[in-house]
Amino acid sequence: MNGIKKPQLHFKDRAKLPFHFESDKMYAEYVALQPKNFEYYNVIMLRAPAHTVDNSLPEPPPADDYADGSWTDWMNSEALNASPYLKSIVEQFDEITKVTLVRLLRLAPNAQVNAHKDPTLGLEIEKSVIRLTIPILSNDDVRFYLNQIPVDMKPGECWYLKLTDTHYVVNDGDQERVNLTIDMQPNNNLKDLIISC
């Protein structure tokens, strides 16, 4: 089979998935978790490598490839365990496939995330995870650009974004923007769902 290349798969760069979550419930739990000191960009960790959540656990051995999350066990943080609605969302995706990193991402008013690519966060990458984004709090002056085209994400919606492509965020509003992001291993059921949307 030497010299025979697998066909390159091409996926659309965005897909709104057929899930909808209650943004007011997510927001209430987010408010309960807010740290007091918040600069322009902040992360609240909800699921992370187990040894970073519980310091008594040993670090996993070095891995050749960290992209798909199989190099470690993943554990809910105290913040997620204290947030029953957010936890139920994560558990819903856990029933579909293996969920790895889960975070709340906060962007301050009048701030931006500069253009960048995440080289392993796309369906076209053979051994990796993908990231689903669920907006919790937004405003009319928040714009998420993917390949220079805005993605019109509303609170409670669930989106697959091909983050291996160039993307950036601008918040020109006077209110912070908060997203829930859930990384997971894309099995065939999840791939088929994204392709169908």
What does the block give as tokens for 62?
């070095």
Half-sphere exposure of 30 (CA within 13 A, CB side): 23
pLDDT score recorded for residue 64: 86
Tell me the C-alpha distance between 44 and 104, whole Å: 5
How many angstroms separate the Cα of 5 from the Cα of each of 2, 9, 119, 128, 130?
8, 12, 21, 19, 24
pLDDT score recorded for residue 40: 57
Question: What is the pTM for the complete model shown?
Answer: 0.92
Name residues whose C-beta falls within 8 Å of residue 139's C-beta, 6 or more positions apart in sequence.
171, 173, 174, 175, 177
CA dihedral angle for residue 178, residue 79, residue 75, residue 154, rounded to 10 degrees: -20
What does the block give as tokens for 174?
């006077």
| Phi-psi group of 176: left, alpha or beta (phi > 0 → left; psi -120 to 50 → alpha; rest → beta) | beta
* Helix ranges restricted to H, the chain: 23-33, 50-53, 78-81, 84-94, 188-196
Half-sphere exposure of 62 (CA within 13 A, CB side): 1
pLDDT score recorded for residue 146: 98
Local structure of 23: helix, strand or coil:
helix
pLDDT score recorded for residue 6: 47
pLDDT score recorded for residue 65: 87
Local confidence pLDDT in tens for the 197 residues of the chain: 455 544 455 689 999 999 999 999 999 999 999 765 555 568 999 999 999 999 999 999 998 888 899 999 999 999 999 999 999 999 999 999 999 999 999 999 999 999 999 999 999 888 899 999 999 999 999 999 999 999 999 999 999 999 999 999 999 999 999 999 999 999 999 999 999 99
